[in-house]
Amino acid sequence: MPDVVLQARGLTKAFAAPAGPLPVLTDVSLEIFAGDSVSIRGSSGSGKTTLLQLLGGLDQPDSGEVLILAPDTSLVAPHSSLGRGVGFVFQNYQLMPELTALENVALAARIAGVPSEAATAEARSLLTQVGLGARLEHLPSKLSGGECQRVAIARALVNRPSVILADEPTGNLDERTGAEIMDLLLGVVAERGAALILVTHSREFAERATRRFVLSGGVLTPA
Ligand SMILES: Nc1ncnc2c1ncn2[C@@H]1O[C@H](COP(=O)(O)OP(=O)(O)OP(=O)(O)O)[C@@H](O)[C@H]1O
Ligand SMILES: [Mg+2]
């Protein structure tokens, strides 16, 4: 039985609205194992981004709990994992515009406490692995969308997280580039033994995950 790398139990979340609390997630539970790939589909506004933010510790549930596998191999709350339990990949890349590709990736390692030289070496190696060895000094504004997403994937992997959370990572890309990014994401995640939680509107990409879910009416169900 593979190790559990993420455990979410009974997640409930509502947002305040003038007419009263707006329920978004109702009792969502999910268990992710090492090497798992899981896709989540759902219509716009169904709460997919909200769920990923709870899983990654960027937001807190109203009730329920999330535990992720930290570098010392124990299950802890996301905010206690020193930023190394999960890696995020976003639809709009979220790169720092004034930093080069190399600096963007190295910064994520520096924030997690890796010394400068080692951070740069690891960033260079990962960027080469994602096909950007000749673009290390490019600013994001000088990279194509697909290249920006490759940088973001390298950044998400740099601290060797046990889980990658990808929120519509191909949403801004043309069909062919999107397919290339999916190949890359599935490939590097598998190679590093990380698990992947992929939010996507694409049925085709969702089917490439080993387990598939749909989020609807605040409830997560197997597809
Ligand atoms: N910070 C917030 N404050 C209030 N309401 C919010 C907040 N964040 C999200 N919501 C609401 O929660 C619901 C779910 O939003 P969420 O962004 O999780 O949807 P989504 O499934 O990711 O949609 P999309 O496919 O368009 O990205 C929406 O109705 C949204 O308006
Ligand atoms: Mg979203």
pTM, to two decimals: 0.93
- For 127-151, write each residue's pLDDT tens digit: 999 999 999 999 999 999 999 999 9
The response to whether residue 47 sits with its C-beta less than 6 Å from ligand 1 reads: yes
**pLDDT higher than 90, residue 3:** no
CB 130 within 8 A of CB 160: no
Length of the chain: 223
Interatomic CA distance for residues 219 and 133, integer angstroms: 42
pLDDT at residue 163, as a whole number:
93
Region 45-71: mean pLDDT is: 92
Q: Measured between alpha carbons, how far is 96 from 93 in angstroms, rounded to an integer?
A: 9
Q: Order the strands of the 63-69 sheet from edge to edge.
A: 22-33, 4-15, 63-69, 75-76
Residue nearest to atom 13 of ligand 1 (CA): 45
Number of the ligand 1 atom closest to the C-alpha atom of 215: 21
Question: Percent of the chain having pLDDT more than 70?
Answer: 95
Which ligand is in closest contact with the Cα of 59? Answer: 1
- 167-137-195 Cα angle (round to 5): 30
